[in-house]
Amino acid sequence: MGSSKAARQQEQTAAIERLRQHLAPGAPVWTQVVHVARSGMSRAIVAIIKGTDGDPWDVSYLVAKALDRPIHRTRGGVVMGGVGMDMGFALVYDLSRALYPDPWECIGTEGSYAQRCPSSDHVNAPHESKAQHTDGGYALRHRTL
Task: Give me the chain's average pLDDT, please.
Answer: 87
Contacts of 13 (CB under 8 A, 6+ apart): none
Whether pLDDT at 51 is above 80: yes
28-36 and 141-144 strand pairing: parallel
Residues ≥6 apart with Cβ < 8 Å to 142: 28, 29, 31, 86, 88, 89, 92, 93
- Kindly indicate the confidence band of residue 2, based on its pLDDT and cuts at 50, 70 and 90: low
pLDDT at 68 over 90: yes
As a whole-number percent, the residues of the chain with pLDDT over 90 amount to 61
CA separation for the pair 133, 124 (Å, rounded): 12
pLDDT at residue 133, rounded to an integer = 78
When pLDDT is averaged across residues 97-101 and rounded to a whole number, the result is: 94
Is the pLDDT at 125 greater than 60? The verdict is no
